[in-house]
Amino acid sequence: MLFPTLTFGLFFLVVFAVTWSANGSNEWRKILLLIASWIFYGAWDWRFVALLIGSAFLNWGAAGLIALQPDWAKTQRKAILIIGVIGNLIMLGFFKYYGFFVEQLGDVLRSVGFQRDLPLMQVVLPVGISFFTFQGMSYLADVHARRLAPARLLDVTLLMSFFPHLVAGPIVRGSDLLPQFQRAPRLTRDMASMGLILIVWGLFKKAVVASELSTGLVDPVFFDPSAHSRLDLIAAAYGYAVQIYCDFSAYSDMAIGIAALLGYRFPRNFNQPYRATSLQDFWRRWHISLSSWLRDYLYIGALGGNRKGFARLCLNVLITMLLGGLWHGAKWTFVIWGGLHGSVLALERIWDRYRPEGLPRLPKILALLVTFHIVVIGWILFRAETFDTAIAFLGGLATSTAASAVLTPLACVLIVFGMAIHFTPPDLGQRLALRLRTLPAPALGLIAGIVILIIDAMRFEGVAPFIYYQF
Active site residues: 328
Distance of CA 56 to the CA centre of its chain: 20
Cα distances from 409 to residues 46, 79, 209, 230, 368, in angstroms, run 43, 59, 13, 17, 26
User: Do 40 and 61 touch, CB atoms closer than 8 A?
Assistant: no
Contacts of 9 (CB under 8 A, 6+ apart): none
Neighbouring C-beta atoms of residue 302, cutoff 10 Å: 16
- For 199, phi then psi, to 5°, come to -65, -45
Q: Is 401 exposed, middle or buried (0-12, 13-18, 19+ CB in 10 A)?
A: exposed
- For 8, phi then psi, to 5°, come to -65, -40
